[in-house]
Amino acid sequence: MYQFSISEVTYKVGFYNAKNFSNPVKIILVSYLANKKTIMNSKLFLFGLLVVLFVKCQPSQTEPLTPVLPIPDERQLDWQGMEFYAFAHFNMNTFTNMEWGMGDEDPALFNPTDFDPKQWAKVCKEAGMKGIIITAKHHDGFCLWPTATTEHSVKNAAWKDGNGDIIKEVAEAFRAEGLKFGVYLSPWDRNNPEYGTPKYVEIFRAQLRELLTNYGEIFEVWFDGANGGSGYYGGANEERRVDKKNYYDWPGTIEIIRELQPKAVIFGDAGPDVRWVGNEHGFAYPTTWSNLLRDSIYGGMPEYSKKYSSGQENGTHWVPAESDVSIRPGWYYHPYEDHKVKSLPELLDIYYNSIGRNSALLLNFPVDRTGQIHENDVTQLMKLVDKLKEDFSQKISLNSGDLSASSENGQYAVENLLSSEMGSFWSPASGEVSASVTIDFDGARTFNRFLVQENISLGQRVKSFELEVQNEKGEWQSIAKETTIGYKRILRLPDTKATAVKFTIHDAKDSPVISHLAFYDAPKLLLPPVVDRDKNGTVKLNVVEEGVQVYYSLNGKDPVQSGQVYTQALEVMHPTKLKAVTKDPISGKFSEVVEVNLQLAKKNWTVVDGGENSGNLIDEDPTTNYISDQNLATIDLGENQEVSGFTYYPMQNRYLSGLIKEFEFYTSLDGKSWKKATAGEFGNIANSPIEQRIEFDARAARYIQLKAKSTTDAEPASFAEIGVILTQ
């Protein structure tokens, strides 16, 4: 069975090669290679090698592992495996263009024109989402099901003449696709006249019983921390504050959920099963513990985000984080945000900073007034899904012979790391809180993603870890030092070429239990460069990922075929058509081409008789604003120009004000004698606040003036930017 070819320096034991052996075997082999001339005929060496091999082949003793408390229960483990699921904010606010309704809305206003929950379910399934949570009742108190507790519900809506049930249709649509269903029920109710009294708590619980009894299995019950404040309250129109910690008697409410939906996890600031991540950006933290000092927290606690949202190493209960974020700026649908759906780089950041940081991701869709997920949202979601598939498709192939550990605890051997099953894991010798795994690649390999998981059924243990790489010269270099792991940790790394990698756990609460690790070589994110131009005409072509090349043209030609390589900022003072593209130098692939019509640079412009912040009008930054009490803006172009049109960029804030609806535009050669060039209306600007472009017959002008005849909300006119179109 054993064959040694000393002349070729090869060793074979069965079907294994040397790097499969334990450390003692490797030591003997290395010693032999270093001293083969002096021990060539040593029977003692061969005898020692055979003894070690014999010991290695015997089943080693496994020391039992004691869970490090707290640990997840079965419902929490099931929830953790979902990772990615949808939020749907669809309710009265959809039809009143509000985020938080007051509770005085007419139920008849709720009237989707083409409600299609099957479309929601198909979109979510195609995206790999595992379910959905819907806003069954938001703070305004309108109920999406025909509840017996209030008249403020779909039973008095115009939709289906009051005979519809949104909850029923959504639940059925998702289950038909094999997806799970959950409910959001706001504890606050700005409509109910009993809010603030003990009677309301019974009404709230009655609503909860209806939802948990009549709509099948629920995977998550979601409670908002926002409660108490001004409201309609049956016509009282007053402010009502409650004792957030004690008013709702949460233990009694939790008991109802456990009775009716024992498999459902309960979400809230304090859980008890799943906690809020503490922000609405969709980001967990570089250090994210699933442990929480749960008994110190209550829903709506002011200091929660700063003190508790990242979890605590010494937390008393297992309450993992859920990262909730909307795909748009708002949670509810607003037509003026159709162009503000999050970009692919933003969505990728959310994914890697939530699921990649020991959190689940709850991505919200503001369902539109038709009753469907808007096409812009679907487009961006699918871009995210396609890119994630690409990122994790090029996995570095490993086999058991590639792995070695500083130590092992019997059956918890290092090769278990190749399995993605949580129950199959590596753990070092009992009691060791510092340990390492070395991965020897078959030659130099390149990777830029590292994924690692703990067996959380035994508790979250790792407190700090490091990743080192070995180059072709045999030198080791640290490329990442991090803290917690938890259910899943994903590191985005620079392109890293290595012959070996060492994963070292420096500190843990007890012997680490690592269930899986993997390396991936994700292709570059190929998006067109972002064109940034300042007032002085300086143009920068910014990319979202390092390592790509940028090509551009200033003559309207295809930058792929005849573009120049971008190396530094450009100066573009006069009207120019700029085209640009990015290229992955490894694959040779190009992004789509971005095309921007650059107008006259504003270097020599000044705002005439402008008020405070008037410089924002011509700073080439659409995120800054100028508000004019006189409802006009006058600009000196610095010298005479042949002007044939103008552009108006409206305010881009979350909440818009003073968007110009009807306008007049004037030109002048001396700033005293003015001629009207054009007048009109910016159609649908309230719903589509994008740059407006107006052309007219060419004329000489040094001064221009845009006057607001009316605004969308009767507030003073606001301006983000004004530009001019010159005659070519």
The answer to whether 644 touches 698, Cβ cutoff 8 Å, is yes
Helix (H) or strand (E) holding 50: helix 43-57
| Chain centre to alpha carbon of residue 551 | 30
- Strands 462-470, 476-482: parallel, antiparallel or unpaired by DSSP? antiparallel
- Could you write out the three-class secondary structure of 344-373? HHHHHHHHHHHCCECEEEEEEEECCCCCCC
The answer to whether 111 touches 155, Cβ cutoff 8 Å, is no
From CA 99, how far away is CA 139, in angstroms rounded? 9
Enter the pTM of the model: 0.86
The answer to whether 500 touches 475, Cβ cutoff 8 Å, is no
Q: Peptide bond preceding 70: is omega within 30 degrees of 0, i.e. cis?
A: yes
Identify the segments of the chain with pLDDT beneath 50. Answer: 1-42, 44-47, 49-56, 58
3-class state of residue 48 by DSSP: helix
- Strand (E) positions, 277-358? 291-292, 317-318, 321-326
pLDDT score for 11? 29
Q: What φ, ψ does residue 510 adopt, rounded to 5°?
A: -165, -175
The answer to whether 169 touches 175, Cβ cutoff 8 Å, is no
CA-based nearest residue to 293, from 280, 285, 304:
304
The answer to whether 275 touches 322, Cβ cutoff 8 Å, is yes
> ∠600-601-606 over CA atoms, to 5°?
105
Taking CA atoms, 181 is separated from 150, 620, 697, in Å, by: 24, 46, 59
Radius of gyration of the chain (CA): 32
3-class state of residue 75 by DSSP: helix
| Chain centre to alpha carbon of residue 209 | 33
From CA 610, how far away is CA 706, in angstroms rounded? 13
